[in-house]
């Protein structure tokens, strides 16, 4: 049964096709790719604008965008696949798989403040952002790239105590998994996740294919930025994909109620969509974000890899991505059997994101209100430096 606030999908598409170009112009969005599914079928995909403001190459259905944190839900699927194979137990402390004699020689997580909490962290904590770790440790960005040597990382809270969004925790889990499978995570991802889902224009490394259209990121004034190579997969953030490819991934989750999921069994999908922890109003990077007094959201929670909206009118899974010059958003609506994927090569997507979501999935979305509260709170100038 559809929510009364959801309009017929054909009306949504007509509205979007006519109005997106003006919305993009109003907010200086250079390129946008959108994909919509309805009733377990892909019903519309389209590219708008340009890949690069200098070359004027148009965005096509095959244009690849950097998806930033949309990387995380797909990596979570890989972790659950390993769980089904008996390679990792998501409820066993990671120290079991990553003993001190290995960790302290790896050079990445060798120095930890509040180290006692490390031995309590499980993969479930990592996938639900409840490890107590920050998003990224501060002061690691250098002209030579991300340097963590002699930069300790702090576990601020007891694992499971509260929601603390952490990209670095996903990197930690990738390191552990690569020790377990004795191969780069990208190879396992390609064979067991991307290929079965037929996501042929997707990869966590770049470049990964010849003669492929790739969108350049643009700053707020519309100046295109260099596309940097990615030689090693970063589970938290390095996925490059198309909107249509990512829709295939979302369909594999939506279809679990029909027992048609492509890569995981129904019980694993149900785990992904089961609330683990409520989000709160304090995000890493806000001033005094480690404060003890936090306001938990009543309806926005986190599952395994995905954010969740759950109340009497809403049952969705969602995620956003923000790499500055690339922004993205994806949401699957279980009640209405619909989904939308948005990939942009400019910072302006959040300015039109809500109206795009409302056009396809209705107006009641607590997750969008939570994101607005998080981004309306100023971030410290050096929080990612």
What is the number of residues in the chain? Answer: 385
Mean pLDDT score across all residues of the chain: 93
User: pLDDT value at position 383?
Assistant: 54
What is the per-residue pLDDT across 21-60, written as a single tens digit (0 to 9) for each?
Answer: 999 999 999 999 999 999 999 999 999 999 999 999 999 9
Identify the residue with better confidence: 188 or 110: 188
Q: Are strands 112-113 and 153-154 parallel, antiparallel or unpaired?
A: parallel
When pLDDT is cut at 50, 70 and 90, the band that residue 261 belongs to is low
Is the pLDDT assigned to residue 322 strictly greater than 60? Answer: yes
User: pLDDT value at position 336?
Assistant: 95
Verify cis geometry, omega within 30 degrees of 0, for the bond prior to 357.
no
**What DSSP string describes 25-38?**
HHTT--EEEEEEEE
User: pLDDT value at position 294?
Assistant: 92
Identify the residue with better confidence: 260 or 138: 138
Mean pLDDT of 181-185: 97
Taking each helix axis as running N to C, give the angle between helix 167-181 and helix 71-84, from 0 to 180 degrees, rounded to the nearest 10: 40
- As given in the structure block, the two tokens for residue 224 are 């295109």
- HEC profile of 191-242: HHHHCCCCCCCCECCECCCCCCCECCCECCCCCECCCCCECCCCCCCCCEEC
User: pLDDT value at position 151?
Assistant: 83
Mean pLDDT of 228-256: 95
User: pLDDT value at position 385?
Assistant: 38
Contact 352, 328 (CB under 8 A): no
Mean pLDDT of 166-184: 96
Reported pTM: 0.96
Burial label, 33 (beta-carbon count in 10 A; 0-12, 13-18, 19+) = buried
User: pLDDT value at position 145?
Assistant: 62
For a pLDDT cut of 90, what percent of the chain falls above it?
82
When pLDDT is cut at 50, 70 and 90, the band that residue 257 belongs to is low
Contact 278, 296 (CB under 8 A): yes
User: pLDDT value at position 59?
Assistant: 98
User: pLDDT value at position 287?
Assistant: 86
Contact 259, 266 (CB under 8 A): yes
Contact 117, 155 (CB under 8 A): yes
Residue in 338, 295, 294, 330 with CA at minimum distance from that of residue 314: 338
How far apart are alpha carbons 276 and 110 in whole angstroms?
Answer: 28
User: pLDDT value at position 311?
Assistant: 87
Residue in 130, 97, 86 with CA at minimum distance from that of residue 303: 130
Identify the residue with better confidence: 291 or 117: 117
User: pLDDT value at position 362?
Assistant: 95
User: pLDDT value at position 288?
Assistant: 87
User: pLDDT value at position 146?
Assistant: 65
User: pLDDT value at position 1?
Assistant: 45
With left for phi above 0 and alpha for psi between -120 and 50, is residue 361 left, alpha or beta?
alpha
What is the per-residue pLDDT across 135-162, written as a single tens digit (0 to 9) for each?
Answer: 998 777 666 666 776 789 999 999 999 9
User: pLDDT value at position 211?
Assistant: 87
How far apart are alpha carbons 358 and 350 in whole angstroms?
Answer: 13
- As given in the structure block, the two tokens for residue 207 are 């470049």
How far apart are alpha carbons 177 and 99 in whole angstroms?
Answer: 13
- As given in the structure block, the two tokens for residue 293 are 């007094």
User: pLDDT value at position 141?
Assistant: 66
User: pLDDT value at position 193?
Assistant: 97
CA distances from 297 to 48, 81, 157 (A): 35, 30, 19
User: pLDDT value at position 85?
Assistant: 97
How far apart are alpha carbons 341 and 355 in whole angstroms?
Answer: 13
**What DSSP string describes 8-30?**
PHHHHHHHHHHHHHHHHHHTT--
What is the per-residue pLDDT across 3-27, written as a single tens digit (0 to 9) for each?
Answer: 557 899 999 999 999 999 999 999 9
Mean pLDDT of 210-233: 95
- Neighbour tally for 101: CB within 10 Å: 7
Q: In angstroms, how far is CA 107 from the centroid of its own chain?
A: 26
- SS3 (DSSP) at 77: helix
Contact 317, 328 (CB under 8 A): no
The DSSP code for 190 is: I
Mean pLDDT of 216-225: 97
């Amino acid at each position: 049964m559809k929510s009364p606030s959801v309009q017929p999908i054909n009306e949504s598409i007509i509205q979007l096709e006519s109005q997106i170009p003006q919305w993009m112009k109003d907010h200086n969005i250079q390129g946008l790719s959108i994909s919509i599914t309805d009733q377990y079928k892909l019903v519309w995909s389209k590219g708008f604008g340009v890949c690069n403001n200098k070359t004027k190459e148009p965005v096509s259905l095959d244009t690849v965008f950097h998806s930033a944190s949309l990387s995380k839900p797909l990596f979570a699927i890989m972790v659950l696949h390993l769980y089904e194979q008996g390679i990792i137990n998501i409820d066993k402390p990671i120290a079991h798989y990553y003993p001190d004699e290995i960790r302290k020689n790896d050079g990445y997580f060798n120095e930890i403040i509040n180290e006692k909490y490390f031995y309590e962290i499980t993969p479930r904590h990592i996938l639900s952002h409840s490890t107590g770790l920050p998003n990224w440790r501060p002061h690691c960005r250098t002209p030579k790239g991300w340097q963590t040597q002699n930069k300790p990382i702090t576990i601020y809270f007891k694992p499971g105590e509260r929601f603390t969004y952490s990209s670095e925790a996903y990197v930690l889990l990738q390191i552990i998994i690569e020790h377990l499978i004795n191969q780069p995570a990208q190879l396992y991802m390609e064979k067991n996740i991307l290929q079965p889902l037929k996501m042929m224009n997707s990869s966590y490394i770049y470049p990964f294919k010849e003669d492929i259209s790739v969108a350049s990121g643009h700053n707020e004034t519309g100046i295109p930025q260099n596309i940097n190579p990615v030689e090693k997969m970063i589970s938290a953030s390095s996925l490059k994909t198309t909107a249509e490819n990512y829709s295939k991934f979302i369909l594999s989750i939506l279809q679990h109620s029909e027992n048609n999921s492509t890569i995981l069994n129904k019980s694993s999908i149900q785990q992904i969509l089961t609330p683990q922890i409520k989000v709160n109003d304090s995000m890493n990077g806000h001033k005094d974000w480690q404060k003890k007094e936090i306001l938990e959201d009543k309806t926005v929670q986190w599952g395994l890899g995905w954010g969740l909206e759950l109340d009497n009118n809403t049952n969705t899974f969602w995620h956003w991505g923000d790499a500055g010059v690339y922004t993205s958003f994806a949401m699957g609506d279980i009640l209405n059997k619909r989904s939308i994927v948005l990939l942009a090569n400019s910072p302006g997507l959040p300015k039109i994101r809500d109206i795009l979501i409302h056009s396809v999935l209705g107006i009641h979305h607590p997750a969008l209100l939570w994101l607005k509260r998080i981004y309306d709170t100023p971030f410290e100038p050096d929080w990612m430096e």
